[in-house]
Amino acid sequence: MKLLTCEMCGSTDVVKQDGLFVCQSCGCKYSVEEARKIMLEGSVDVSGSKVLIDESEKQSNLYILARRARDNNDYEHAITYYEEIVLREPNSWEALFYSLYFRALNAKSTGDTVVAIRNISNAINMLFELMDTLENADKNSVLNEIKDRILGLSKSMIQISTKYVNGQTPYDTAKQLGTEVIKLEEKVGDNICKVLTDKTAAVSLYEDAIHNYKILKELSVLTPNWKEIIEKKIVSIEPAYQQTVDKDIRDNRIKKLEEEKHRLKEQQKKISVPAYIIAQIFTTIFLVLTLLGSILIVRSGESMGIFSWIIMIISLLFFGSMWMVGYVALKNRHDIDKRLAEINNEIVQLK
Among 104-108, 227-231, 331-335, the range scoring the smallest mean pLDDT is: 331-335
192: left (phi over 0), alpha (psi -120 to 50) or beta: alpha
Report pTM. 0.65
Stated length of the chain: 351
Q: What is the pLDDT of residue 280?
A: 64
Q: Which pLDDT band, with edges at 50, 70 and 90, does 110 fall under?
A: confident
Distance of CA 90 to CAs 7, 68, 85, 97, 301, Å? 29, 20, 8, 11, 116
DSSP type of residue 225:
T
- Asked if 158 and 110 touch (Cβ cutoff 8 Å), the reply is no
Please, are residues 179 and 157 in contact by the beta-carbon 8 Å criterion?
Answer: no
- Which helix H or strand E contains 78, and what residues bound it? helix 75-88
* Burial class of residue 201, CB neighbours in 10 A (0-12, 13-18, 19+): buried
Q: Which residues contact 96 (CB under 8 A, 6 or more apart)?
A: 86, 123, 126, 127, 130
Q: Quick one: which of 242, 146, 155, 152 has its CA closest to 201?
A: 146
Distance between CA atoms of residues 33 and 53, nearest Å: 13
CA distances from 311 to 14, 304, 308, 316, 318 (A): 126, 11, 5, 9, 10
Please say if the pLDDT value at position 95 is more than 60: yes
Average pLDDT (288-314) is: 65
- Tell me if residue 22 falls in helix, strand or coil: strand
Crossing angle of helices 171-195 and 200-215, rounded to 10°: 160
Residue 205 pLDDT? 95
Average pLDDT over residues 57-67: 86
286 pLDDT tier (thresholds 50, 70, 90): low
Question: What tens digit of pLDDT does each residue of 160-186 get?
Answer: 887 765 566 677 888 888 899 999 999
Dump pLDDT digits (tens) for 240-264: 999 999 998 899 899 999 999 999 9
- Per-residue pLDDT tens digits for 122-150: 999 999 999 888 887 788 899 999 999 99
Q: What is the pLDDT of residue 46?
A: 46
Neighbours of 132 (CB within 10 A): 9
C-alpha separations of 284 from 281, 288, 313, 347 in Å: 5, 6, 14, 42
How many whole angstroms separate alpha carbon 119 and alpha carbon 134? 24
